[in-house]
Structure 1
Amino acid sequence: MRVNLKNPNTHQLKQVKVGFSWTTFFFGFWPALFRGDWKWFGIQLIIVIFVACFTFGLGTGIVGIVFSFFYNKLYINDLLESGYVPNDKTSEDILLSKGITVASN
């Protein structure tokens, strides 16, 4: 399920997936880098390095699995905090049904 978010200042549109992140599941922290989400890229990378030090690299896949359950929600919340708003009523309803707080216009 995808939602459309719009930045009213720059008129930039983003279509963002809601729910489980298959890209994070398969590729770990790389989707955050390709989205330009530097904050969560850095956090995931630091956690991967930390986990790798204690598990000789064997536990790094677990970080991607754990983050895949909630990364999309974190990304959407960051977009909403930076000024993005749902572009249509359907997108707003989907966000509200998934427990994501949307500021009223």
Structure 2
Amino acid sequence: MATPVQMKHKVSGILKKGYYGFSWTSLFFGGFPALFRGDVAYGLGVLAAGVVFGAFSAGFLWFVIGLVWAFIYNKNYTHRLLQAGYEFTDTPERVAEAKRALGVAL
């Protein structure tokens, strides 16, 4: 289950939610959660890969791509927020749990 963690940009002060853990929404809806988060390139890429590979495998590879995507997307998204200058601003317990789950130095 995905767990949200509050993040704030160091310079602009923009607040966003990062996530860690398994993404059920990505499993069921493919790249659409990425599109709704404004992550257009990743969302369209997963949708395109799912359609192309699914067409050649009677839908089996669509499921495989969705399953792999559900395991990696939240961690990938939150790591890219960190690289873009966001930092964790949630409760100390939630921040420690997020850093541990994401493999970020405590």
Please give the range of the TM-score, normalised by the shorter of the 2 chains: 0.7 to 0.9
Of stretches 34-43 and 68-77 in structure 1, the one that deviates more from structure 2 is 34-43
Distance in structure 2 (CA, Å) of the matches to 1:45 and 1:83:
28
Q: Which residue of structure 2 lines up, in the alignment, with residue 99 of structure 1? A: 102
Matched, 1:54 2:50: no
Distance in structure 1 (CA, Å) of the matches to 2:25 and 2:17:
15
Alignment of 1:32-43 (within 5 A): 32-43=34-45
Of stretches 91-100 and 79-88 in structure 1, the one that deviates more from structure 2 is 91-100
Contact 1:5 1:87 in 2 (8 A): yes
> Equivalent residue of 2:11, what SS?
coil
Q: Deviations over 1:50-93 (max 9, x none)?
A: 31232144431322122111110011011111111111433431
Q: Which residue of structure 1 lines up, in the alignment, with residue 19 of structure 2? A: 17
Q: Deviations over 1:9-63 (max 9, x none)?
A: 2211122331000110111111000110123113312321331232144431322
Aligned length in residues:
103
Contact 2:19 2:77 in 1 (8 A): no
Identity of aligned residues (%): 33
Q: Name stretches of at least 5 consecutive residues in structure 2 with no aligned partner.
A: none
Structure 2-normalised TM-score? 0.81
Q: Name stretches of at least 5 consecutive residues in structure 1 with no aligned partner.
A: none
Alignment of 1:57-96 (within 5 A): 57-88=59-90, 89-96=92-99
> Equivalent residue of 1:98, what SS?
helix
